[in-house]
Amino acid sequence: MQLIVAEKPSVARDLARVLGVRASGRHYFEGDDRVITWCIGHLVELDEPAAYDARWKAWRLDTLPMLPTAFRLRPAPHARDQLRAVTQLLADRRFTSVVNACDAGREGELIFRYLADFAGRHPPVRRLWISSLTDDAIRRGFAALRPAAQLDALGDAARARSEADWLVGMNATRAITVRGRAGGHSALYSIGRVQTPTLAMLVRREQEIRAFVPRPYWEIQGELTIPSGAAAGQRFSAGWRHGGTARLATAALAEAIAARDTARASAAHPEGPRVERLRARTVREPPPLLFDLTALQRTANRRFGFSAARTLALAQALYEQHKLLTYPRTDARHLSSDVAREMSGVFAALAEVPDYAAFAAPLVARPPRPGRRVVDDAKVRDHHAIIPTPKPAQLPALDRDERRLFDLVARRFLAAFYPDAEFAVTDVWIRVGAATGEPPPAFDADPAPGTQPRPAPHREAMQDSLPPLPDRYFARGRVRLVAGWQEVAGIDEPAGPISLLPALVEGQVLDGRFTPVAKQTTPPPHFSDATLLGAMESAGQTIDDDALRLAMKDRGLGTPATRAAIIETLVKRDYVVRIKQQLVPTALGVVLIETLPVASLASPELTGAWEARLARIARGEDSRAAFMADIARYVAETVDAIRGSAPPAAPVNAAASTGPEAGPEAATYHRSTRPSSGGHPSRRGARSPRTPRAPKLPRRTRASKPARGTRDVLDVELPCPRCQVGFLITGARGWGCSRWRDGCRFVIWFETAGRRLSAAQLRDLVTRGKTRKARFRTQSGAEIDGRLVLDLDSDGGSARLVPG
């Protein structure tokens, strides 16, 4: 008899349906020859320090470092009954084999292996390794179960990650916190192997913004006109350039250059404006790479304002619940050759969806032969890129955000099989003045797609002296000739006055008008979810090119599956606050980073190097023992350095940021530190200041107590459906938007239509636009069957009752 252990109840139900097991039972489903049970995330976890040594119960510097010789496991508090049931099944002698059907990744491997270790005896294990939850994928997976030993290297990497996080987090958190208490304040400074370097990147950006002093500068804008011929009267713009810069340090310089060029502005002037050099060519832009999780999160944040956690939750729902996407927690942006052979089914499924039929039908009729930008076995490890499954999508069954995310993936997938987009690009240098001195500048090389061709605005150099004549102005025209993949992706042709240049030839004379334009340097922007994910992916290095980012992915902070949780952890622990779409460190976060006595605790490069070693362990190229020995040595050195350092200053009750982008909310924002449920074990049991109450929402009727479970529902971020930027918070009488100070009036009252809403009803209302059918009371007092639907135009509560 076979025992199957899934990671979640929803996956267990899918397996039961496909394998013909009746999905009925509190802790497991039993069939004729199979029993299917499930975890609820981690059923066991690494034990607290006091379990190893009684001296480690108290938070004292003289008992550090804590370095267990062997790690122990304990039941996770959230699912003791399920743990008891699963361990009994694992010990049941009816079973001759066990299938590890947890998510096919590093964390899924850890969930099962910790469970098996805790249970002790269990039958031989085989591994289910699938990238989608469609019926066909499940059947194929069970027909090709892998021996568990094939995943031992991945298991070693998973254990090493978990144990390293315990060692660094427990020891550094205690050491830094106790050191702070010696300074007279009681803040709990939570340190994490990944979270602290991530916070450091946010704080360093904040320091750059604070230290930034705006500098005025001037540019000169040229408006050129063709004076005669068939194109007479056609105009275009060009900007002054000299020695690689377009900026002038003083108004006097700008005015002097504009004046001397204005004196030569006529086409009839012998030194007037003339086309000095021209380059016209066709540029091809290939389709973007397929999505991995980080690329999907970044795109969804830029396009829709979704947080990284929100995107992951939507992708997970499209994978688990709707079976429309493949496994989302992947770091691959390519497909393997065996997956590529099954693409005809995906094309056929998309061809049945009206939104994609026009693009998918040609691929069904003439299946393409994908190149190495799509299929590359060498670049696929555990899972391939995120793509649609062969299941036809019923778009009306998806809520708005699920539909938008699926649309991103579907169009990116189809676009990968379409031709390059082609552009006619024309560069032109215009000379004003006699052709003396330096020769005309060479043209820059075309930047690779996705890269920045010029330095960031706050770093560009300025011209501080008057250069000799001639002056030169640069213009670029870009016109799309062939849409190619961009038509599939829904990318419109760029519009605007600089997109098109008139037909020009070298030596052509022009009329001109030259105007100084006053500007000011701007500070670097705060991180958003999208830009922070990019920085985490490259361990803090600013990399815009896709290929270079892929080369750095082993050295990033965390993994695609964990980065969203790291960002949310920083928010929950009050080190970071979201202001609109910006991530801004709080005063507590700034003080933590600024007073760290061991700089490497906040080093993205060091943590990235550790991640690279974990990836090598997973590939069998490094050993868990060697890695853990290095971590233990690092922890001991770190504790010694903290022990010998001075206590930090207490954080002030003010915001970390007062920059112009932060806005008035940030200037007064500060939340006291509190332990977060489900967070790092080192936070449990620590005493901390009381959390301020959420802001009161507008008065409606008499006060009512929050419905049971309302606090639990906000453990998962629910986006505000009205502004699509904020998230829901719990007020005195209802749930409202976190951006209430910015004018978003979204509110759902705890008591609506004569009924106290449950956590599930709130979640359905916000994510699906309606609740399930239930018993409600009308304004006249009559009880009816109906459902609540979102009403975003209402100011008196954003839900209305619909009968039936």
For the chain, the straight-line distance linking the first and the last C-alpha, in angstroms and rounded, comes to 47
Which residues face 777 on adjacent strands? 783
Strand order in the sheet with 799-803: 774-777, 783-790, 799-803
Beta carbons of 388 and 324 less than 8 angstroms apart: yes
- Distances in Å between the Cα of 281 and the Cα atoms of 422, 477, 642 are 10, 11, 60
φ and ψ at residue 279, rounded to 5 degrees: -135, 120
CA dihedral 234, 239, 240, 243 (to 10 degrees): -130
Reported as type and span, the H/E element at residue 550 is helix 546-552
Beta carbons of 563 and 308 less than 8 angstroms apart: yes
In whole angstroms, give the CA distance from residue 171 to residue 161: 15
**Pair of tokens at residue 340:** 């590529």
Beta carbons of 116 and 89 less than 8 angstroms apart: no
565, amino acid identity: A
Beta carbons of 665 and 741 less than 8 angstroms apart: yes
Beta carbons of 8 and 101 less than 8 angstroms apart: no
Residue 740's SS3 state is: helix
Among 327, 473, 575, 634, the one annotated catalytic: 327
Reported as type and span, the H/E element at residue 340 is helix 337-340
φ and ψ at residue 593, rounded to 5 degrees: -70, -40
Beta carbons of 88 and 80 less than 8 angstroms apart: no
CA dihedral 557, 560, 562, 566 (to 10 degrees): 60
CB atoms within 10 A of CB 127: 22
Active site residue 327: yes
Residue 45's SS3 state is: strand
Active centre residues (catalytic): 327
